[in-house]
Structure 1
C-alpha cells in the first residue's frame, strides 16, 4: 500500500467520486491510469508532465479536518486507525487511489478523552463497515479522472 502525499494526488482522488459512506466517514476512489499533472515552474513550456501515481498499487490517503476533530491528538488517532484498517482490507480493495475523509465530527460529550479506547473502538468499527461496503461494491468499475 502506498500513501498519498501531495495536494494534487488528493484532489485527483476526490474528483473521482464517493464509493462508500458511513455516519462519519466517506471513501473516495479514482483509477490510476490517466492521472497526470503538469509541474508548476516559472516557465511552463519547459516542465514535462509528471505522473501522480507512479506505482500500480493500492494508494491510500486520510483527510481529518480540524473542523471535525479540533485536537491534533484526536486527528492523529483517527488517521492511525484509518491506515490500520486499510491494511486489513488491502487485499480486497481495487488497485486505485483511495481517500478516507472524516465528514462529521464525533460527539465530544460522548468521547470526552481525545484518545479514549471507546473513541478508537468506535472509529475502528465504523471504518471496518466503510471498507466492507467498498469491498462489496468493488465489482463496479471505478470512474476515470483526468487532470487539466
Structure 2
C-alpha cells in the first residue's frame, strides 16, 4: 500500500490486535471488485478512455480489488530515531506478514509502531536482540489478529 487514502481508511478502524510496541489494523477486502470501484470511482477505468486496440494503455496504475493481503507499515521517527532501526523494524513487519499472509483475511493491513523500544535494553540500532524481540512480538501480534 502506498496511497494516503488507503492508510487513512485503515487507520480509521479500531486496531485488530495490539502488543507492547505494535498495533495491527485491518479493512476487509470485500466480496467483489465492484465494491472497490464504488469506493474509488476514479480508478474504475483508465484515464486514457477507449484506447486503440493493440496499443498499450498510458495509465496502467489502476488498482485491483484487494483479494489478497495488502500491507502498509508505519514506523515513525519519534519511536525509532535511527534509520537503521526503522529499516530493521519494517523488514521484520514485512517478513511476519509474508509468514502469515495465507492465514489472514484478505484486505488492507497496516502495522504501526506505537511505542519505542527502550534504547537502554537495545543499545545497538540493529542488534540481534532487537531483531528477536520484534520477531517474537510480531508473531504474537499476527497470531491474535488471525483469530480476531
TM range (shorter): 0.7 to 0.9
Corresponding position: 1:6 with 2:20: no
Which of 120, 127, 132 is 1:116 aligned to? Answer: 127
Q: Distance in 1 between matches of 2:93 and 2:63?
A: 20
SS in 2 for 1:108: coil
Please state which structure has a larger fraction of its residues in helix. 2
Which of 42, 54, 67 is 1:49 aligned to? Answer: 42
How many residues end up aligned between the 2 structures?
124
Listed as ranges, the gaps of 5+ residues in structure 2 are: 45-61
Q: Which residue in 1 is equivalent to 2:103?
A: 92
Q: Please say which of residues 72-81 and 11-20 is displaced more in the overlay.
A: 11-20
The structural deviation recorded for 1:50 is 2.3
TM-score by length of structure 2 reads: 0.78
User: Which structure is larger by alpha-carbon Rg, 1 or 2?
Assistant: 2
- The 5 Å alignment of 1:31-110 reads 31-33=28-30, 34-35=35-36, 36-37=39-40, 49-50=42-43, 54-55=64-65, 56-110=67-121
Listed as ranges, the gaps of 5+ residues in structure 1 are: 38-47, 138-148
Please state which structure has a larger fraction of its residues in strand. 1
Corresponding position: 1:126 with 2:137: yes
Measured on the aligned residues, the alpha-carbon RMSD in Å equals 1.6
